[in-house]
């Protein structure tokens, strides 16, 4: 349980902590100021400490020395934000140049500022920066997809595949033979059709029981992708690997994630061989109001 106290001398009874904690309802205002009446309900989001205008709240999870002030100059302008969003591109061509682990550590560290459901912060990463291991993963991905396709095309196995994967997936798999043949051909030519010879593959993972693990992962991954641009690094989400991975015990064993963890997002990362000169237009999303 969190240990929370409010310095009544410093508290100005503004009620901000009561307001921001309106779900857990840890705080109540009394004559003297705010009081942490239900610390057992705290889910450690830290918003009370972040909002208090007089630093009156002492929360053992958020010592003030770990909570720097946010100044106006720390908020990026809308132009800066837009440029960062628009300049990011998926990278599929990488230089044969290792990425310093120090930079990877920094990227992972920056990614943590993304939100997580109930502030669980239970999201972690596994990095592969050994080209032999990455090649092995690529080769296995294509091999496993090939195995699934062969199964789906085997008349004896069709009912079984339909049962396990569902009718739609079984049908897609039957049609995927040309795709698999093409990928196998690329592998045979020394290409990497899965990770594009990226020097680093990052797998973001969270506890398998976390219902919002995928959501947490996507926010963190996007933070990381935007930050990677700053270091001249290109990134690409590799959903293809993930689709095969989710069905393949062999691939799952190969990545050796810690027990009870589920891969939620997979990124290829490295120094981009080409820099993009232009931002591209995007479809303007529909926005409807109060539909019935
Ligand atoms: C969920 C998701 C899965 C993706 N999977 C792959 C993939 O397996 N291989 C790949 O080359 N690109 C993959 N991409 C990258 C998209 O193709 C790319 O984002 C899209 O074409 C737009 O290009 P941009 O990222 O340069 O803006 C994926 C992107 C997302 C969001």
User: What is the reported pLDDT for 207?
Assistant: 97
Query: Do 138 and 189 form a contact (C-beta atoms < 8 A)?
Result: no
Among 66, 95, 117, where does a domain finish? 66
Distance between CA atoms of 226 and 267, rounded to whole angstroms? Answer: 13
CA of 287 to the centre of ligand 1 (A): 24
Answer yes or no: is the C-beta of 48 below 6 A from any ligand 1 atom.
no
User: What is the reported pLDDT for 226?
Assistant: 97
Residues 246 and 144 in one domain: yes
Q: State the DSSP code for 193.
A: T
Residues 99 and 46 in one domain: no
Residues 113 and 61 in one domain: no
Answer yes or no: is the C-beta of 240 below 6 A from any ligand 1 atom.
yes
CA of 59 to the centre of ligand 1 (A): 41
Q: Kindly report the protein residue whose alpha carbon is nearest to atom 7 of ligand 1.
A: 238
Distance between CA atoms of 234 and 197, rounded to whole angstroms? Answer: 12
Q: Quote the tokens at residue 274.
A: 């080409």
Q: Is residue 283 included in any domain, yes or no?
A: no
Q: What CATH number is associated with residue 172?
A: 3.40.109.10
CA of 89 to the centre of ligand 1 (A): 9
Q: Is residue 139 included in any domain, yes or no?
A: yes
Q: What integer best gives the mean pLDDT of the chain?
A: 95
pLDDT in tens, 240-262: 999 999 999 999 999 999 999 99
Q: Is residue 93 included in any domain, yes or no?
A: yes
Q: Kindly report the protein residue whose alpha carbon is nearest to atom 6 of ligand 1.
A: 238
Residues 129 and 34 in one domain: no
Exposed/middle/buried for residue 100 (C-beta within 10 Å: 0-12, 13-18, 19+): exposed
Query: Do 135 and 193 form a contact (C-beta atoms < 8 A)?
Result: no
Mean pLDDT over 268-272 rounds to 98
Distance between CA atoms of 106 and 98, rounded to whole angstroms? Answer: 15
Among 16, 36, 66, where does a domain finish? 66
Answer yes or no: is the C-beta of 192 below 6 A from any ligand 1 atom.
no
Domain count, the chain: 2
Helix segments in 93-200, DSSP class H = 101-111, 131-153, 158-165, 167-175, 177-188
Residue-range definition of the domain harbouring residue 193: 76-277
Q: Is residue 292 included in any domain, yes or no?
A: no
Nearest ligand 1 atom to the CA of 241 is 8
Residues 156 and 38 in one domain: no
Among 20, 38, 66, where does a domain finish? 66
pLDDT in tens, 33-82: 999 999 999 999 999 999 999 999 999 999 999 999 998 888 899 999 99
Residues 134 and 106 in one domain: yes
Q: State the DSSP code for 199.
A: S
Residues 60 and 141 in one domain: no
Mutate to test the pocket of ligand 1, among 85, 224, 237 (most ligand atoms within 8 A of CB): 237
Residues 116 and 169 in one domain: yes
Q: Is residue 112 included in any domain, yes or no?
A: yes
Nearest ligand 1 atom to the CA of 280 is 27
Q: Is residue 179 included in any domain, yes or no?
A: yes
Q: Is residue 218 included in any domain, yes or no?
A: yes
Q: Kindly report the protein residue whose alpha carbon is nearest to atom 19 of ligand 1.
A: 90
Residues 43 and 98 in one domain: no
Answer yes or no: is the C-beta of 76 below 6 A from any ligand 1 atom.
no
Mutate to test the pocket of ligand 1, among 84, 88, 89, 90 (most ligand atoms within 8 A of CB): 90
Q: State the DSSP code for 258.
A: P
Query: Residue written as tokens 């290792």?
Result: 98
Answer yes or no: is the C-beta of 222 below 6 A from any ligand 1 atom.
no
Distance between CA atoms of 235 and 271, rounded to whole angstroms? Answer: 9
> Which of 79-93, 149-163, 244-258, 259-273 bottoms out in mean pLDDT, i.e. has the lowest?
149-163
Q: What share of the chain is helix, strand, coil (3-state, %, to 5)?
A: 45, 15, 40
Residues 167 and 124 in one domain: yes
Q: Is residue 61 included in any domain, yes or no?
A: yes
165, pLDDT greater than 90:
no
Residues 204 and 236 in one domain: yes
Answer yes or no: is the C-beta of 238 below 6 A from any ligand 1 atom.
yes
Q: What CATH number is associated with residue 23?
A: 3.30.70.20
Residues 157 and 223 in one domain: yes
């Amino acid at each position: 349980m969190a240990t929370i106290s409010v310095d009544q001398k410093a508290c100005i009874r503004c009620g901000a902590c009561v307001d921001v904690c309106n779900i857990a309802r840890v705080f109540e205002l009394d004559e003297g100021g705010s009081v942490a009446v239900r610390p057992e309900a705290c889910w450690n989001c830290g918003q009370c400490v972040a909002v208090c205008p007089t630093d009156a709240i002492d929360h053992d999870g958020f010592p003030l020395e770990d909570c720097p002030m946010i100044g106006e100059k720390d908020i990026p302008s809308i132009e800066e934000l837009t440029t960062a969003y628009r300049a990011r591109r998926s990278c599929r061509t990488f230089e044969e140049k290792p990425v310093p682990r120090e930079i990877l550590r920094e990227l992972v560290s920056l990614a943590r500022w993304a939100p997580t459901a109930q502030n669980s912060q239970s999201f972690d990463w596994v990095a592969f920066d050994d080209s032999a291991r990455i090649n092995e993963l690529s080769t296995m991905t294509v091999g496993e997809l090939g195995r699934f396709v062969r199964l789906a095309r085997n008349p004896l196995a069709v009912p079984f595949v339909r049962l396990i994967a569902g009718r739609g997936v079984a049908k897609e798999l039957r049609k995927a033979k040309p795709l698999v043949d093409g990928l196998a051909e690329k592998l045979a030519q020394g290409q990497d059709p899965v990770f594009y010879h990226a020097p680093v593959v990052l797998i973001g993972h969270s506890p398998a029981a976390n219902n919002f693990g995928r959501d947490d992962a996507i926010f963190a991954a996007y933070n990381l992708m935007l930050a990677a641009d700053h270091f001249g690094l290109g990134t690409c989400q590799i959903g293809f690997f993930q689709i095969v991975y989710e069905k393949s015990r062999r691939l799952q064993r190969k990545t050796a994630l810690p027990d009870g963890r589920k891969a939620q997002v997979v990124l290829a990362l490295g120094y981009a061989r080409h820099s993009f000169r232009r931002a591209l237009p995007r479809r303007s999303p529909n926005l409807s109001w109060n539909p019935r």
